[in-house]
Structure 1
Amino acid sequence: MIVCKFGGTSLADIEQIKKVAAIVRGNPERKFIVVSAPGKRSSEDKKITDLLLIASNQDKKLEDRLEALRVFGSRFSDIVAGLDVPVDVPHFVSEIERMIEKMAYADAIVSRGEYLMAKILAAHLDFPFVDAVSFVRFDEHGRYSETRTALEAFNKIRFFDRAVIPGFYGADGRGVIHTFPRGGSDLTGAIVAQFVEAKLYENWTDANGVYAVDPRIIADAPTIQRLSYKELRELTYSGATVFHEEAMFPVMKAGIPIHVRNTHEPENIGTLVSPSENVADADDSHPVTGIAGRKDFLVLAIEKMQMNSEVGYVRRIASVLERHRISFEHMPSGIDSVSIIIEVAKIRTDGRKVGELVAHLVKDLQEDCNPDSIQTFENIALVSTVGKAMRSTPGIAARLFGALARERINVRLIIQGSSEISIIIGVLNSDYEAAIRAIYKEFFS
């Protein structure tokens, strides 16, 4: 049994949906289909989800919200007419209007793009429709609950041998709809694959697979044909965008391979992600599998003499971060120093300026931890060089840092975990693209 997830670009218009239907019908093992809301048809277009975000925003003028809903209805009406399926779009739009009038919870409105797309595709394929709210469960804090989902999925999905399911959302025990972060349909697909015990999870998108490097930086970036779970985890965490960062966990737990494929070129081999961690499977002549990165990190460099002898020091630092509701990405350390790396976008501002919040955080760290000094470094980018053969190949670090030195790029920090399948470097935001080009030239050219 194969579970397929189709992204927004794969469902953007009638012709794209027909391609999706042909792919599904082309293999009778494709039984469970998870869909996103239709994406952009052109660069000037709006995604369906973006229209619903406008419609659900109570700070917007009512006429702007209703206009977004009108465009939403027009697009879906065109799709229904083109596919000739019995789906009543005007009635559905009226229901959303009533939700707006009643000031419904935003997630309930935003989820309706996936819901209606699943209804339409189910009718076109003559598959049963199964609503994600019937089995994807969130807890009372709006967090995904694997335990509750397992119970509901067993009671719901096992009665179907095939189905079309909307991605991106589920519900808590009271039936209140909650959404995953953007790109969350990948996660819904992985959850379905886990609980129907699929032999393969196909993730259909508009790319030929997972790129070895960002194609916006390297125009002829190659795709990676084979990856391990850990390599994919490193690349998606570090910024690779073809596959949602959290979507691999349900299938990884179940040992289900992931196949990332292109809806526009279904004959393309794509990228196969498997459980294999065997270094013997790696290509020693190409020890680096991929390069990824992200900008805009903040580094707090904390120094205190004999920090290594002071029991509980790092715990006190972590307690201050927790009090401020700030998570950190990495914590590299020396004998008398530790650096806290924070992604600026994850700092909850609640309308306040980031600089003000950071100043407050530093003040509390000084009071609770009594460091000798705290320095703040802004505008830092992290670049990850990833490959499972790196841990068994001598000279990788020498080549990496030599390539950066030749381009006169200063490395501000270095991180390597115990798995030894990645080396993360920190550079200034202004050096980010140049650093990626230098590393790519060294290991791929």
Structure 2
Amino acid sequence: MGNLLSAVQPPPPPPMVLVPPLFDYPPLAARTRMLESSYNLLFGKLALKCLFEDYFEEARHFSTRIMLKPIDDPHVDLIATVGGPLDHKVDEKIVGNAQFRWQSDVDDPHTFVDLFVSNSEPTLVMRSCAYYPKFGFGAFGIFPVLMKQRVSSEDYGVMGLRYGSPNLSVGASIIPFTAGDELPKNAWLVSKMGRLTAGVQYEPKFGSKDEARYKNLANWSCAVGYGLGSGSPLSPSFNFGLELARNSQFIASFYQHVVVQRRVKNPLEENEVVGITNYIDFGFELQTRVDGDKSSNNIHDSTFQVAASWQANKNFLLKGKVGPLSSSIALAFKSWWKPSFTLSVSAVRDRIKAETAFGFGIRVDNIREASYQRADPNFVMLTPSKEHLAEGIHWKSGKRPLLESDVSSGNFDGVPRELRPLNKIL
């Protein structure tokens, strides 16, 4: 009888690996990428901006951001922000703004209309973009509707056209209500060949109206980048870029996204939970003058910054950055409720004044859904749940588990749309 009972007992549960979602993915700037020049977003620039700026609050300031969308209509959402000084004695007003957005396709953020309102200039701005993936063409516009005073021609609006494919991005923006000698506002051309990306951008900001501004090298910028990875945070990536900006500034940068796995030594976890996935990001940027003219463009002779972040689990994120004038560290805690709630605190050390100041931030978000997926390239995704069954795992002391790989081969069919690489358009 005992042998019969033992024969029908279910097998022990297989080992499990916790794979937490990323704190903030996709970045909010990716939702409005069709309004920007591709030159300003590629070469690792968007990833470096998020690494160097997110959760590093300004010293002695606070920021609050609420991002919500209704359950009944996922095509619309609202983002409201409030920020200002912590000390009420400081002669600086609290800035508040809100952005209402309508998106044509829930899965495609490239066609949308939004209204931006603020208690500072401009008071009301309308932005719109229409992109047709089948043909690769798109049009966009930014129109300040309400302003107290319109100083420049750009205050009357900007319009643009673009073409995008997996290996090419070309476009230009113009100021329609201006003289013809000021056209275009900017133009760009970026091409990708394998792992190598090269681009050039023209922005006529220097030179008189009477001369041919395109002959002035200060109006041109060029960059080249080398990148590894699929573009999805589920697999590691590496980007290295070199840029000559306006013939006066040389910028070298690199960004690396690493996905690692560590053991779980938490006694509160179940026995079958043997590991957890972590995300580590590292970035470096060096800017150096090359024109020798210290009075032009207000550019320092040389400056650099280094930053790193570590997401230990789904709740905690630690970031730090170092520069020649100051150093900062930030700690963020996130609760994955619906909507999610994030509290962050940052400390800034000013080396010149030898002072340390703090900043605080609060974020509420239900625009970006929490996606629990396998993130290490040695993992194969199974189900979009908090804990994934790691079938075939071999956890040995001092060795990494050996799991079948699927994500690293470029198969993202089962990946949620938030985590899929944008490979249809450069």
TM, length-normalised to structure 1: 0.27
State the TM-score, normalized to the length of structure 2. Answer: 0.27
